[in-house]
Chains A and B, each alone.
Chain A
Amino acid sequence: MNAGMTLIVKTTARLVLTFIMVFAAALALYGHVTPGGGFAGGAVAACGLILMLLAFGRLETAKVVGKQGASTWECVGALGFLVIALVGYTAGMFFTNVLPEGETFRLLSAGTVLWSNVAIFVKITAGLFAVYAVLAAFRMAEEPTQEERP
């Protein structure tokens, strides 16, 4: 887990990672037009980050995003979603759409749905990656001592 995998895997991962991230961003941003949305995009982006963790090892990935950073970004995403919901108050009710609804099938349409998708994308990416990073970093301590074994 520390050193990552062979050179072939690292090179391929470097190439593929860009596509994965772009695909994830497209899923999330066009969530109000095509199937997908924040959660699906976030899951794919988290898979990309997990690929980075697997291919490059824990230490290299920690330079890009570590456990602490993942936790922070998760909170930022969730707070972004809440802020969007609370902004609806200015239009009178929780969660209303305050931004103008453009023409259908365009990117900048459907008001706050787009920004909610972005917030959820950030949160899910960070969240899923945090789960994996914590589990991967879980150090199986020394074998349980003789007294603990039944």
Chain B
Amino acid sequence: MIYYLLAAGLLAVGMYAVLVKRNLIKIVMGMLIIEYAVNLMLILVAYRTGGQAPIVTEQMRVSPGPFVDPLPQALILTSIVIGLALVALMVTLCLRLYQRYGTLDTSHIRRLKG
């Protein structure tokens, strides 16, 4: 249970960075932290006490005990790819904005306040 709360805490840290910080790159990092927090949450959901990695090798003939849940691991892979696309887009936008305005401070870029 404590781990779930920690993941939620990481989410809160990321939210703080997105909402409060004024530098564009810090906002991007805040987004990344939020995304990490959610992926972490997914992994925590997958854990089973005493489980092993869900790989069946040739040497196993007898079922060796509980496996960790492999489904969220697939979900996390997909989520990482989605986050990658999002970050690539964000960074490109930051580059373009810097090219136009010469600054990364949102209080100077007109519409991004709030």
Contacts and interface: CB of A to CB of B under 8 A. Distances in A.
Contacts of A105: 57-58
Interface stretch (A83-91, A109-117, A141-149): A141-149
What is the size category of the interface that chain A forms with chain B?
10 to 19
Contacts of B13: none
Interface residues of B, number: 18
A102 B16 CA distance: 52
A39 B91 contact: no
A8 interface: no
Main secondary structure of the interface of B (DSSP, over half): helix
A140 interface: yes
Contacts of A138: 92, 95
B3 interface: no
A143 B81 contact: no
A128 B102 CA distance: 27
Nearest to B77: A39
Interface in B8-51: none
